Amino acid sequence: MSQTTVPYNHRAVEQKWRKVWEDKPINVNDGKKPKYYCLDMFPYPSGNGLHVGHWRGYVISDVWSRYKLMHGYYVIHPMGWDAFGLPAENYAIKMGVHPEKSTAENIRNIKRQIQEIAAIYDWDMEVNTTDPEFYKWTQWIFVKMFKAGLAYEKEMPINWCPSCKTGLANEEVVNGKCERCGADVTKKNLKQWMLKITKYADRLLADLDKLDWPEKVKKMQTDWIGKSNGAEVNFKVDGSDKEITVYTTRPDTLHGATFMVLAPEHALAKELATDETRAAVEDYIYQSSLKSSVDRLQDKEKTGVFTGSYAINPLNGAKVPIWLSDYVLADYGTGAIMCVPAHDDRDFEFAKKFNIPIIQVIAKDGKEIENMTEAYTEAKGIMINSGDWNGMESSVLKKEAPEMIEKMGFGKKTTNYKLRDWVFSRQRYWGEPIPIVHCPDCGAVPVPEEELPLLLPEVESYQPTGTGESPLADITEWVNTTCPCCGKPAKRETNTMPQWAGSSWYFLRYVDNKNKDELVSREKADKYLPVDMYIGGVEHAVLHLLYSRFYTKFLYDIGVIDFDEPFTKLFNQGMITGKNGIKMSKSKGNVVSPDDLVRDYGCDSLRLYELFVGPPELDSEWDDRGIDGVYRFITRFWNLVMSQKDADVAETKELVKIRHKLVYDITQRLESFSLNTVISGFMEYNNKLIDISKKGGVDKKTLETYVLLLAPFAPHIAEELWSELGHDTSVFAERWPEYDKDAMEDDEVEIAVQINGKTKGVVSIAKDASKEDALAAGKAAIADKLTGNVIKEIYVPGKIINIVMK
Ligand code: ANZ
Ligand code: ZN
C-alpha cells in the first residue's frame, strides 16, 4: 500500500475551488427543482466586524443549505445588511464620520469576512435597508398601514433613552434598560407614531401553533402578548355616585376582597382623598411619579396610602378601604384592582404590612387555615366564606364567574393583553423618514405612493438633539413642503423609523430585489416564499420575530403575499462567548476574529471547529486551541483518501456495515441539528477507517460516501477529494447518500447466559446460529460455573440462553 501522498495544503485547495465555484455555481435555479429557502438573520454592519460567534450562525445555515442542495433543491440562501438604526449611527458619531460613509465601509469589511465562510450565498439577491430602492418599500408599507388605520399619532409618556436620545418601543426596554446601550430608560411625554400591532394580538397568538419553532420562543411570544381572561367588576364608592372598575382574572375570589388598590395615576386617585388624607395622598402620587417603572416593579417593600374612601363589594355589600399603591400599573387592565390577600402574593404582602384583614375563600384541603403565612394562589379547592358560592370548586367557578357577574349586572367578561401598540418613531437621523406631511387643514397626510422613496436628506449635524426632535427638524428647506392633499404650505414629519422597520420585511425582497414596481411580484412570492428555515439568535424573540410576523400578516391582508407566517421553521443558535462565558465585546478585549484562523487553518477547518465547540443551540466558550485537533483530523482524512483511492480494495461485509452506519449516524444527527456530534462522529469513523486501511484497506465506495457526507461541512476538501476519486463533476451535484437499515445490522448478537434464570455471563454468537451452536458457545462462556446436573437447556434465539440445573 502506497503511503506517499500529496500533503494537504488548505490554501491551494481552497483557492482552487473558490475559483471553480465562481465560474460554475453549484446552486442554480433551473426552474424545475423545488425551492428551499434557508435564511440567516442579516447582520447590522458594525464597525467591529464579525467575530467567531457570528461566523458560527452562518456556518450552520450554510451546512443546512448545502444539505438541502444535495437533496435536489434549488436553495435560496441570500444575505444583506440591516444598516439603518442606532448601532450604525452611534458608531458613526463615535468615529466622527457620516453614517452613510461608515456604514458602507463596514459593509465592505463584513462582506469580505462573510465571503471567507464560502457559503453558497447568492449575492445577486443582496439587499441593504439603507438603499433608497429598498426603503421606498419600507415607507410604502407604512403608508399602506396608515391608510388601513394601523399607523396613528398619539401623545403619551413613552420610554426614553437619555443616552441614545430617542424614544424606544416596549420591546426595546430590557429590565428597565435600553436594549442598545444599557442606559436606564426614563419616561418622556412625546407625540409619537404608533403601529396598531394589538389589532393582530389574537392572530399572532393563535398562529404560533402553525410554526415549527423552539417552544422557548413560542412561550416568550405568548407571554409577551399576554392574553388573559377574566372579568371587569364595578365597585360603587361608598357615599358617592362614583364607580371604580377593576380587572381581575380571579373573580372566583370576589368574597375574599378585603381592600382595593388604585394606581397612583388613576383618574379618581385624587378625588377619593378626604380632608384628613389629602396631603398624604398627594405626596404619594408625587413620589411615585418620580420613580422609574423598573423601580416600581422591583421595589422590595410595598408602599401605599389609604385614600380615606371605601368601596362596596357588589356581591356581598362589604365595605372595603380604597388604597393607592404603585404596584398597580396604570396602563394595564383598568389601573385598579380588588385585593384578595388570602390568594394573591402581592396583596398578601400589602395586607400584612398595613394590617388589613385576610379572608380565606378557597380551602385547599377542605379546611380553613388558622394563621396564613403565605397566600394560597392556586385556583384549586372548595369555596368557603363565599355565601351562595360555598362548596363550589374554585377552578370551575373561575371559569363561570365572569358570566355570572355579567348576569348579575355589576360587571362583564373581558380579555386583556399585555401587548401594547408599537412606538414607531425615533428622534434620530439614521433611519427611514416617516412619509407623512402635516397640514394645518388636512392633518396628517401620507406622501403619495408614486413619490416614494422620500429620501433622507443631507444634514450638517446628524447628532441627536435630545430635544425630542430629530436632526431632520433643522433642515427648514426639507421640512417646509406643500400638502399633497390641498396644496397649502405644510410641514414634513421629522421623526424616522426604528431599525426594525426594514428587518420586518427584508426577507420578502431578496427574491425580487430589483423590482421597481412592486415590493415583490406575486408570481415570485408564490414561487419562492415563505422562508422554510430561519437561523439566528434568540435575542430577537419578542422584537424582530414578532414584528416580522405582524408585517407579514398585514401584507397578507392587503394581498401582497399569499401566506401569513414568514418563517416556517426556526433554529436559534447559542452565543459563542469568551472565557468564563463572558460575552465577546471590544471593551472586554475578548473578541476573537475569524480572519487569522482562516488564514492559518483554512476555511474548512474553521467551519468544522465552529460546529465542534458545542451544541449549536447552546452558548459555548471559545478556545482557539481546539482547532488544531480539527486540523489534524482533516489532514488524517486527506491522507486516508489519498492513500486508498487507487488501492482498488474490494468491499467487505464489515466495510458495507460501517458505510451504512456512517450514513445513518451523520444523517440522524444532522436532521436533529446535533452538529457537534456530527463532527465527533466523523472523527470516530475516520479512526475506524484508518485502522482498517492498515489491515485490508478501504474500498472506494466507502471513501466516496464519507466524502459526500463531509461535503456540506468542509466543502473545499470534499470537492478536491471527490475529484481525486475520479469524478469530473462537483460533489454537490450528487445526492445525499442513503442508508439501508438491514445492511447496518450486526451479524452477531450479544446474549445473556443464565443459570436458573440468573445471568452469569454474556456471549456473542451469530444471529442465525443453530440451537446446538448457541448452547455450546453459551456453556463454554460459563463453563466454570456449570457444576451440577443440567436438567434443561433453553435457547430463545437472539435473546437468551438459560441452563436449568439442580
Ligand atoms: C383579584 C385577584 C385575586 C387577582 C387573586 C389575582 C389573584 P394577569 O392578567 O394574568 O397578569 N391586576 C390587574 N390589573 C393590574 C394592574 N394594572 N397592575 C397590577 N396588577 C393588576 O393578572 C391579572 C391579575 O393581576 C388580576 O387578578 C389582578 O389581581 C392583578 F387571588 O384580581 B387579580
Ligand atoms: Zn392640506
Per-residue pLDDT, 2:
46
Taking only the tens place, the pLDDT of each residue in 443-462 is: 999 999 999 999 999 887 77
Taking only the tens place, the pLDDT of each residue in 93-112 is: 888 888 888 899 999 999 99
Determine the Cα angle at 128 with ends 125 and 133, to 5°. 90
| pTM score, whole prediction | 0.86
DSSP string computed for 696-748: T---HHHHHHHHHHHTTTSHHHHHHHHHHTT--S-GGGSPPP---HHHHS-SE
> Quick one: angle between helices 603-612 and 675-695, nearest 10?
120
Which DSSP letter does residue 583 get? B
Name residue 62's amino acid.
D
Q: Of 620, 683, 611, 585, nearest to 55 (Cα)? A: 611
Protein residue with its CA nearest to atom 31 in ligand 1: 343
Q: CA-based Rg of the chain, rounded to a whole angstrom?
A: 34
Per-residue pLDDT, 473:
87
Q: Average pLDDT for residues 244-269, to the nearest whole number? A: 97
Name residue 215's amino acid.
E
293 has a pLDDT exceeding 70: no
Protein residue with its CA nearest to atom 33 in ligand 1: 248
Per-residue pLDDT, 365:
82
Measured between alpha carbons, how far is 445 from 439 in angstroms, rounded to an integer? Answer: 7
Binding residues: 586
Maximum pairwise Cα distance, the chain: 115
Cα of 481 vs centre of ligand 2, distance in Å, is: 11
Contact between 192 and 424 (Cβ < 8 Å): yes
Q: Which atom of ligand 1 is nearest to the CA of 327?
A: 19
Ligand nearest to the CA of 344: 1
Residue 40, C-alpha cell as written in the block? 440567516
Taking only the tens place, the pLDDT of each residue in 344-386 is: 999 999 999 999 999 999 998 878 888 899 999 999 999 999 9
State phi, psi for 509 to the nearest 5 degrees.
Answer: -80, -30
Cα of 484 vs centre of ligand 2, distance in Å, is: 7
Ligand nearest to the CA of 250: 1
Measured between alpha carbons, how far is 771 from 801 in angstroms, rounded to an integer? Answer: 10
Enumerate the H helices of 559-626 as residue ranges.
594-601, 603-612
Per-residue pLDDT, 806:
81
723: left (phi over 0), alpha (psi -120 to 50) or beta: alpha
Mutate to test the pocket of ligand 1, among 344, 345, 413 (most ligand atoms within 8 A of CB): 344
Q: Of 450, 552, 694, 687, nearest to 211 (Cα)? A: 552
Contact between 506 and 520 (Cβ < 8 Å): no
For ion ligand 2, residues whose CB falls within 5 Å: 439, 441-442, 483, 485-486
HSE-CB at 465 with a 13 A cutoff on CA atoms is 17
Ligand nearest to the CA of 418: 1
DSSP string computed for 548-560: HHHHHHHHHHTTS
804: enclosing H helix or E strand: strand 800-805
Residue by residue, what is the 3-state secondary structure of 398-414? HHHHHHHHHHHCCEEEE
Pocket residues: Cβ below 6 A from ligand 1 = 228, 247-250, 253, 328-329, 332-333, 335, 337-338, 340, 343-344, 416
546: enclosing H helix or E strand: helix 544-557
Protein residue with its CA nearest to atom 26 in ligand 1: 248
Taking only the tens place, the pLDDT of each residue in 620-645 is: 999 988 999 999 999 999 999 999 99
Cα of 457 vs centre of ligand 2, distance in Å, is: 23
Taking only the tens place, the pLDDT of each residue in 125-150 is: 999 999 999 999 999 999 999 999 99
Measured between alpha carbons, how far is 434 from 492 in angstroms, rounded to an integer? Answer: 9
Positive or negative: CA dihedral 374, 378, 384, 388 = positive
339 has a pLDDT exceeding 90: yes
Cα of 437 vs centre of ligand 2, distance in Å, is: 9
First CA to last CA distance, the chain: 58
Is the domain spanning 228-416 CATH 3.90.740.10? The answer is yes
Contact between 420 and 198 (Cβ < 8 Å): yes
Specify which of 171-185, 285-299, 331-345 reaches the highest per-range mean pLDDT: 331-345
Taking only the tens place, the pLDDT of each residue in 212-229 is: 999 999 999 999 999 999
Cα of 379 vs centre of ligand 1, distance in Å, is: 14
Per-residue pLDDT, 292:
67
Per-residue pLDDT, 461:
76
Per-residue pLDDT, 588:
81
Protein residue with its CA nearest to atom 2 in ligand 1: 250
CATH code given to domain 746-805? 3.10.20.590
Binding residues for ATP: 586
Residues 624-743: name the CATH superfamily.
Isoleucyl-tRNA Synthetase; Domain 1 (1.10.730.10)
Mutate to test the pocket of ligand 1, among 225, 247, 338 (most ligand atoms within 8 A of CB): 247
Ligand nearest to the CA of 438: 2
Q: Average pLDDT for residues 314-343, to the nearest whole number? A: 95
Cα of 149 vs centre of ligand 2, distance in Å, is: 19
Cα of 402 vs centre of ligand 1, distance in Å, is: 14
Would you kindly state where each structural domain of the chain is located, as residue ranges? 138-197+432-492, 228-416, 624-743, 746-805
DSSP string computed for 206-250: HGGGG-B--HHHHHHHHHHHT-EEEEEEEEEETTSS-EEEEEES-
Taking only the tens place, the pLDDT of each residue in 160-203 is: 888 888 888 888 888 888 888 888 888 888 889 999 999 999 99
Measured between alpha carbons, how far is 530 from 758 in angstroms, rounded to an integer? Answer: 60
Per-residue pLDDT, 189:
80
Residue with cell 437447556: 793
Per-residue pLDDT, 577:
92
Ligand nearest to the CA of 486: 2
Q: Which atom of ligand 1 is nearest to the CA of 335?
A: 17
1 has a pLDDT exceeding 70: no
Contact between 499 and 44 (Cβ < 8 Å): yes
**What's the whole-number average pLDDT of the chain?**
93
Q: Which of 316-330, 438-452, 453-467, 516-530 has the lowest mean pLDDT?
A: 453-467
E-strand ranges in 346-495 read: 362-363, 382-383, 411-416, 422-423, 436-439, 443-446, 480-482, 489-492
Protein residue with its CA nearest to atom 8 in ligand 1: 228
Q: Of 130, 64, 68, nearest to 103 (Cα)? A: 130
Cα of 438 vs centre of ligand 2, distance in Å, is: 8
